[in-house]
Structure 1
Amino acid sequence: MARPKMLKLPEVLEEIDMSRAAFYRMRARGKAPKGIKLPNGQLRFRRADVDAWWAACEEETH
């Protein structure tokens, strides 16, 4: 079975239309999508985690 594609930070930032600085502020407050920090310091995101985060954001606004 193939591993799910991991999204890079620039891909997530483009999708959610957010600056890197705003994303890191949100991440520091624990409000960003769950990410995986690689040994080289880069972040990767599972599609399912980003989608779940979007769904949670929509629920908060209703």
Structure 2
Amino acid sequence: MGSPRQYLTIRALCEELEVAKSTFYDWCAKGRAPRCIKLPNGEIRIRRTDFERWLESREVAA
């Protein structure tokens, strides 16, 4: 298995988190999604480092 990609597509992020694309777009609308990059062709990418930081910021104490 290779190393994780540096940039995630919305599809890859949703697959990794096991959530629907509509959930991701809802998070975006509410300002709760990880930072995104909009490419000139309109596609969205998420830096893996931003995604990891975003996940860590949502950790809760057990």
What TM-score comes out, normalization by structure 1 length?
Answer: 0.82
Which residue does the alignment assign to 2:58?
A: 57
Q: Secondary structure at the match of 2:35?
A: coil
Inter-partner Cα distance in structure 1 for 2:38 and 2:19: 19
Q: How does 1:9-24 map to 2 (within 5 A)?
A: 9-24=10-25
Inter-partner Cα distance in structure 2 for 1:28 and 1:41: 17
Q: How does 1:14-53 map to 2 (within 5 A)?
A: 14-53=15-54
Unmatched 5+ residue regions in structure 1? Answer: none
Unmatched 5+ residue regions in structure 2? Answer: none
Runs of 4+ in 1 over 6 A off after TM superposition: none
Percent sequence identity over aligned pairs: 37
Structure with the higher fraction of residues in helix conformation: 1
Q: Secondary structure at the match of 1:41?
A: coil
Inter-partner Cα distance in structure 2 for 1:27 and 1:54: 15
Aligned residues between the structures: 57
What TM-score comes out, normalization by structure 2 length?
Answer: 0.82
